[in-house]
Amino acid sequence: MSLFILTLSSMGYASCSSQPIKNGDFEQGIEFWLRSGVEAAISDAHVHSGRYALRTYGGSAWQTVNVEPPLNPVLRFWIYLSSVYGTERGKTDAAITITIISSSFEKNISYYVSGPNREANDTKIILTGELQRDQWIFVERNLREDFTKYYKTIRIDDVQKIKIKIWSYPTSDPIPFWDDISLEYSEAPKTPTSPTPTVTPTPTRTPTPTTPKPPPTTVPEKTPTPPPTFTGILTETYMLPIFAIVIAAVLVGGLVIFRRQKLKAREKAPHLPQLRRPIDQAAGVIYCLNCGEQLKPDSRYCTKCGSATSG
C-alpha cells in the first residue's frame, strides 16, 4: 500500500494529459464540481499552486469520472490544516471519500486527514495520527491496492466509474484547504506468476518383443551306409553281359584254335601234285581233283579238303 506524505510548503504539480478530474486545481472556481452547502467554497487564504484552493468549513464537493483500463488509479492531493486559535483543538472531521462503481457493486474508502470521529459504515484509512498543521502536506494513495485489501471479493477491473468526494463537518478546528487533486492511471501491476515447471515425461520403455530362440537343432549323426551287398541285383544286372562276353571269348578262342590246328594239319599233310580234272564243258562245272568236291568257279581252295585248285 503506497503512502507518501510530504511536508513541503511549496511544491509544483504537473498534471497528466489523461487526467480524468476536471478543475482539480480549482483555478476555475467550483466549475465541474457538485457541492452541498455553501461552506465548500473557493478561497485564496491558503493556496498550494495558482491563485485558489477549496476550503471545506463544513459541506462537501464531489465529481464522478469514468475510468480508463487497465484500472490502476493513483489518487494525489495536497491538504492544508489551518489552526484556529482560542478554540478546542482537533474536532473537525475531514476526508476524501473514494467510491468505485460498477454494474454490480459500489464500494467506499474514506481517507481521513483530521478528526477523532469516524463514520462506522466506511472503511477507514487513517493517514497519520496527527497531521502537521499550518503547512501543505502531499498525500498519494494507490486505489487498486487499498480496495483489493479491504474488499477482497471484488474485481477491480470491473469498475466503470470513480466518485471523488471532499468533505468536512463544521467544527471550529482545524479548517481544511484542498488543492491540486488528481487521479492518474499508472501501469497495472502484473501478478507474479511462478513459471510452471515443464515436466519432461520420461519415455516409457516399450519392451522389445523378443522372439524366443528355437532350441538348437540337433544334427543327427550320420549312420555310415554299409557297403552295398551284391546279391541277385548284381546277378540280374551284370550276368547277361558277362555271359555274352564269355561266350564270345570262347567262340573266338575256339576259332583261333581251330585255325591253328588246321594250319598245322596242312603243314603236316604231304604235298600232292595238284590234279586238274577236266571241266565239264557241257555243264561248266569245276571239281576238286583231290576229293572230287564241286568247286566254285573262282574258288582257289576246296572247301571240303582244303586243297588248292589249279587255275
pLDDT (tens digit per residue) in 272-290: 444 444 455 545 677 787 8
- The dihedrals phi and psi of 260, each to the nearest 5 degrees, come to -65, -45
Of 132-141, 146-155, 251-260, the poorest mean pLDDT is in: 251-260
pLDDT by residue (tens digit) across 65-117? 998 776 789 999 999 999 988 777 777 889 999 999 999 999 999 998 987 66
Q: Is 60 or 249 the better-scoring residue by pLDDT?
A: 60
Mean pLDDT of 226-243: 52
With a CB cutoff of 8 Å and minimum separation 6, the contacts of 262 are: 306
Give the number of residues written for the chain.
311
Q: Please tell me the predicted confidence (pLDDT) of residue 3.
A: 46
Per-residue pLDDT band at 219 (split at 50, 70, 90): low
Determine if residue 82 is left, alpha or beta; phi over 0 gives left, psi from -120 to 50 gives alpha, anything else beta: beta
Percent share of the chain, pLDDT over 90: 34
Alpha-carbon distance of 60 to 167, in angstroms, equals 4
In this structure, are residues 112 and 56 in contact, taking their beta carbons and an 8 Å threshold?
no
3-state SS record for the chain? CCEEEEECCCCCCCCCCCCCCCCCCCCCCCCCCEEECCCEEEECCCCCCCCCEEEECCEEEEEEEECCCCCCEEEEEEEEEECCCCCCCCCCCEEEEEEEECCCCEEEEEEEEECCCCCCCCEEEECCCCCCCCCEEEEEEEHHHHHHHHCCCCCHHHCCEEEEEEEECCCCCCEEEEEEEEEEECCCCCCCCCCCCCCCCCCCCCCCCCCCCCCCCCCCCCCCCCCCCCCHHHHHHHHHHHHHHHHHHHHHHHHHHHHHHHHHHHHHCCCCCCCCCCCECCCCEEECCCCCCEECCCCCECCCCCCECCC
